[in-house]
């Protein structure tokens, strides 16, 4: 079943049916002022942090899941009928209520028509501002005069701390105090306390937000939710909207809201425009300033265009044209946009994450950077430095880095039971990618502090990361899993060993050796190569099991992922990383990847492991908590899917790499929305596998490592456009059915127009490479001059 379509020209996804299987969301704003909005105008807004700065309320896991929201209600004075500009919350019959939602790049537009009254509401956050705007246009498409009242509504959180607001009612129900100044609503919290802007995490300080209307006259207001909604009513039938008149309530304690009333008379064919602005600051100061600024609504319209141009320029750093329309829609708009949003908010703000997970999860955020290096290299460099300073002097990492509170060199060293064995090994993916994208090789020599004490060069930080795992190895010479090894459901501790992390460590040693050699550090090269040889020997002697690599060893020597096991006898991670790390020879690589295909591949992606765990020891295998076929218990964990694409591409298996990529590509399931359920334009954390009765159903959209690795695998390995320190490598691995493809890639200020043809229908290999008509040897494009365009012809063969 289909609920919408991709509008590639406007870089939008259009939701044609509002009754989607789940709330389909979009993100507004930036890391200063952020917001989530759904196709029915649900969602919430927050300042700096969804956990500690959430000033509008979301009822987590409610029915429906996106309430409350940014609602605009209408009351017809002549008929006493009422409805909302979005289908929900009033929910008029879809036979009479026609609507579409256009989710774009950091803006959402909801257009509806009900009984001859058309409404358009466009929601966005002007760039760099600490407020949002709802631009409204109403048109009378009927033949009679319409006398209306409009009521924009938002429900406030009492305390900006999301946990306290919903979980500590004996406190939060007594701290709100609402007021109205010159038609602008002021939402005050803890107003008897001082303001402490220098201490954002102090939740008990005085805070204010404003709610104003521009371009229309305010004729009434309400600020008490219980008065506005009425007893035993809901968002779908507020008492004030039914009656058609605000009560002028001023909340003092209880549950505050913001409601403004305006009267509208529209002749047939007539339109009217106005806007709502809501944001941080008092009504008397910031609210009044913002209202004055937008007396001319054209300013707001121009800011919307500026926002679109800003986002579109980010996306245009790389554009593709392939024979697959689904891939084009994703790679040109939604995949890089998904990466940008995940990079911005890590795992902190969605309808699924409650918002109590604050800051940047270390391992997640380091990986997230791989999807944005090409589009925002300077910004990514700053984030990378921040995360490097989240590494402790032990070589391990802080579990979470909070940008608004982080103090490098002064943080407490993490407890031993907080360390995850994979955390800092992701730096070996992110740092070389940054250096290759920017050409800034001196970055390796930059000195940065550790989180707790001391400082070192970036190269020194990398060595310390390697030493952290070498110093914590087990009986088989394999790194210990510690609290977790990427898989949070595999608790191996300080004696159990992770084969997956061993392959990560091998990758790290190879990268370190490569960098040290370029820096002329002979002793460092010798050290890394020696450790790599020792690790390879351990992997060969202890981890190969006929046609697969085992996943881990328990502290008692039990082999997880071994062929003889009743449960979990094959895991995806060690097979694909044996290839990615460069450890497996061709024969073993093909055997291992064939087992992945035969035992783990499904129509909706590759399962993390199989068969599922139902009897295993919970102390180690926490996946047994989940139902079979869900998440880490033999579910399709989408974070890993890109690794499968990468491994098969490295082996030259373009048909299989393409099949894997399409199996979890959101756009490929646009016509199966009733199965996948979540948004068809963004990636999900996990999908239920064949061991579940809900095979194909996906969960947790937007904020997941899937976004980054999917984009990275498709652009760097399937299409094969990879940045290197000395140029741009062209190394595609495509299905043999493709005649070719095109890529426009901006690299260090030069633009490469790359045209790839595949006359012999091969999957991999370059027969000829031309730049501006000149044949060049190999498959690497030299670094071009900034501001110049280069025409690149590639013939595969």
pLDDT in tens, 301-319: 999 999 999 999 999 999 9
Q: Which residues are catalytic?
A: 488
Residue 356 has pLDDT above 70, yes or no: no
CATH architecture of the domain with range 4-313: Distorted Sandwich (2.70)
Q: Would you state the pLDDT for residue 617?
A: 85
Q: Quick one: average pLDDT of 173-177?
A: 95
Taking the C-alpha atoms of residue 191 and residue 737, their distance in angstroms, rounded to an integer, is: 67
What's the confidence (pLDDT) of residue 200?
A: 87
Q: Are strands 750-757 and 789-796 parallel, antiparallel or unpaired?
A: parallel
Q: Which of 15, 59, 280 shows the shortest CA–CA distance to 165?
A: 59
Question: Is 90 exceeded by the pLDDT of residue 352?
Answer: no
Cα separations (Å) of 633 from 74, 422, 554, 640?
48, 20, 18, 14
Which CATH number, 2.60.420.10, 3.40.50.1220, 3.30.70.20, 3.40.50.1360, labels domain 721-796? 2.60.420.10
Would you state the structure tokens that stand for residue 182, as one six-digit string?
A: 């010159």
- In sign, the C-alpha dihedral spanning 456, 461, 467, 472 is positive
**Lowest-confidence region among 36-40, 615-619, 712-716, 776-780:** 615-619
pLDDT digits over 734-774, tens only?
999 999 999 999 999 999 999 999 999 999 999 999 999 99
Centroid of chain to Cα 428: 21
Q: How confident is the model at residue 266 (pLDDT cuts 50, 70, 90)?
A: very high
**Residue 201 reports pLDDT greater than 90:** no
Dihedral angle computed from the Cα positions of residues 169, 173, 175 and 180, in that order, rounded to the nearest 10 degrees? 140
Range ranked top by mean pLDDT from 339-348, 620-629, 647-656: 647-656
Could you tell me if 563 and 571 are in contact, meaning their C-beta atoms sit under 8 angstroms apart? no
Confidence of residue 448 (pLDDT cuts 50, 70, 90): very high
Quote the CA–CA distance of 440 and 445 in Å, as a whole number: 10
**Contact between 491 and 620 (Cβ < 8 Å):** yes
Domain boundaries, the chain: 4-313, 721-796
Angle at 271 between CA 268 and CA 274, to 5 degrees: 150
pLDDT at position 166? 87
In three-state form (DSSP H/G/I as H, E/B as E, the rest C), the secondary structure along 646-669 is HHHHHCCCHHHHHHHHHHCCHHHH
Q: At what angle do helices 499-518 and 427-438 cross, to 10 degrees?
A: 30
- Token code pair at residue 714: 């498709």
| Straight-line distance from the first to the last Cα atom of the chain, in angstroms, rounded to the nearest whole number | 40
Instruction: Work out the percent of the chain whose per-residue pLDDT is above 70.
Output: 99
Parallel, antiparallel or unpaired: strands 570-571 and 609-610: antiparallel
Is the model's pLDDT at 359 over the cut of 90? no
Q: Is the pLDDT of residue 355 over 70?
A: no
pTM for the model stands at 0.96
Mean pLDDT of the chain: 97
Euclidean distance between CA atoms 254 and 177, whole angstroms: 9
What pLDDT was estimated at residue 443? 98
Q: What is the mean pLDDT of residues 121-135?
A: 98
pLDDT at 658 over 90: yes
pLDDT in tens, 268-280: 999 999 999 999 9
The pLDDT of residue 354 = 65
Least confident of 284-293, 493-502, 613-622: 613-622
Q: How much is the pLDDT for 719?
A: 99
């Amino acid at each position: 079943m289909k609920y919408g379509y991709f509008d590639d020209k406007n870089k939008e996804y259009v939701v044609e049916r509002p009754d989607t299987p789940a709330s389909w969301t979009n993100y507004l704003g930036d890391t200063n002022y952020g917001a989530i909005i759904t196709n029915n105008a649900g969602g919430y807004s927050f300042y700096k942090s969804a956990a500690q700065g959430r000033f509008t309320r979301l009822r987590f896991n409610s029915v429906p899941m996106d309430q409350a929201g940014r609602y605009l209600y209408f009351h017809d004075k002549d008929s006493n009928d009422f409805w909302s500009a979005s289908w929900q919350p009033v929910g008029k019959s879809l036979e009479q209520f026609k609507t579409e939602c256009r989710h774009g790049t950091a803006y959402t537009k909801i257009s509806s028509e009900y009984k001859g009254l058309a409404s358009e509401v466009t929601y966005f956050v002007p760039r760099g501002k600490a407020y949002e705007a709802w631009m409204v246009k109403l048109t009378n498409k009927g033949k009679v005069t319409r006398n209306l009242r409009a009521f924009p509504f938002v429900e406030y959180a009492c305390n900006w701390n999301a946990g306290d607001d919903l979980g500590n009612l004996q406190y939060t129900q007594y701290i709100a105090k609402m007021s109205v100044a010159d038609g602008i609503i002021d939402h005050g919290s803890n107003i008897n306390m001082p303001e402490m802007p220098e201490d954002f995490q102090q939740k008990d300080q005085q805070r204010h937000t404003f709610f104003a209307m521009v371009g229309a006259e305010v004729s009434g207001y309400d600020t008490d939710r219980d008065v506005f909604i009425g007893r035993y009513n809901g968002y779908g039938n507020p008492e004030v909207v039914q009656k058609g008149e605000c009560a002028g309530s001023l909340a003092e304690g209880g549950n505050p809201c913001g409601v403004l009333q305006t009267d509208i008379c529209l002749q047939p064919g007539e339109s009217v425009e106005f806007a709502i602005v809501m944001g941080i600051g008092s009504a008397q100061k910031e609210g009044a300033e913002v209202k004055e600024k937008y007396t001319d609504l054209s300013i707001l319209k121009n800011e919307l265009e500026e926002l679109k141009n800003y986002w579109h320029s980010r996306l245009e750093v790389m554009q593709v044209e392939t024979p697959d329309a689904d891939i084009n829609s994703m790679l040109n708009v939604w995949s890089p946009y998904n990466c940008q949003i995940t990079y911005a908010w890590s795992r902190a703000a969605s309808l699924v994450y409650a918002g109590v997970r604050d800051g940047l999860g270390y391992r997640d955020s380091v990986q997230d950077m791989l999807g944005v290096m090409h589009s925002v290299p300077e910004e990514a460099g700053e984030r990378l430095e921040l995360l490097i300073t989240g590494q402790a002097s032990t070589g391990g990492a802080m579990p979470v880095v909070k940008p608004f509170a982080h103090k490098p060199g002064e943080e407490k060293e993490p407890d031993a039971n907080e360390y995850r064995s994979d955390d800092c090994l992701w730096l070996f993916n992110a740092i070389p990618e940054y250096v290759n994208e920017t050409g800034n090789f001196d970055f390796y020599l930059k000195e940065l502090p550790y989180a707790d004490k001391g400082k070192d060069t970036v190269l020194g930080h990398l060595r310390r990361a390697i030493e952290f795992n070498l110093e914590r190895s087990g009986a088989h010479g394999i790194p210990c899993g510690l609290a977790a090894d990427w898989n949070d459901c595999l608790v191996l501790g300080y004696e159990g060993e992770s084969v997956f992390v061993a392959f990560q460590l091998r990758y790290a040693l190879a990268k370190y050796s490569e960098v040290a050699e370029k820096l002329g550090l002979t002793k460092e090269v010798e050290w890394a190569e020696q450790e790599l040889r020792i690790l390879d020997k351990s992997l060969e002697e202890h981890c190969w099991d006929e046609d697969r690599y085992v996943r881990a060893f328990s502290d008692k020597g039990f082999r997880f992922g071994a062929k003889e096991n009743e449960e979990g006898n094959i895991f995806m991670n060690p097979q694909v990383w044996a290839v990615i790390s460069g450890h497996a020879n061709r024969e073993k690589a093909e055997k291992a990847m064939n087992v992945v295909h035969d035992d783990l591949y499904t129509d909706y992606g590759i399962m993390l492991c199989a068969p599922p765990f139902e009897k295993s020891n919970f102390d180690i295998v926490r996946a047994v908590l989940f139902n079979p076929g869900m998440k880490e218990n033999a579910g399709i964990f989408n974070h890993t899917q890109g690794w499968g694409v990468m491994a098969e591409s490295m082996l030259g298996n373009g048909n299989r790499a393409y099949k894997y990529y399409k199996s979890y590509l959101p756009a490929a399931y646009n016509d199966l929305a009733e199965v996948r359920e979540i948004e068809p334009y963004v990636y999900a954390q996990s999908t239920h596998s064949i061991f579940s009765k809900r095979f194909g159903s996906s969960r947790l959209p937007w904020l997941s490592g899937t976004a980054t690795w999917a984009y990275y695998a498709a652009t760097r390995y399937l299409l094969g456009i990879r940045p290197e320190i000395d140029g741009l490598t062209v190394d595609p691995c495509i299905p043999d059915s493709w005649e070719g493809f095109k890529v426009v890639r901006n690299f260090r200020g030069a633009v490469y127009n790359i045209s790839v043809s595949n006359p012999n229908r091969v999957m991999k290999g370059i027969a000829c490479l031309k730049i501006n008509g000149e044949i060049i040897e190999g498959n690497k494009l030299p670094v071009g001059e900034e501001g110049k365009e280069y025409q690149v012809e590639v013939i595969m063969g």
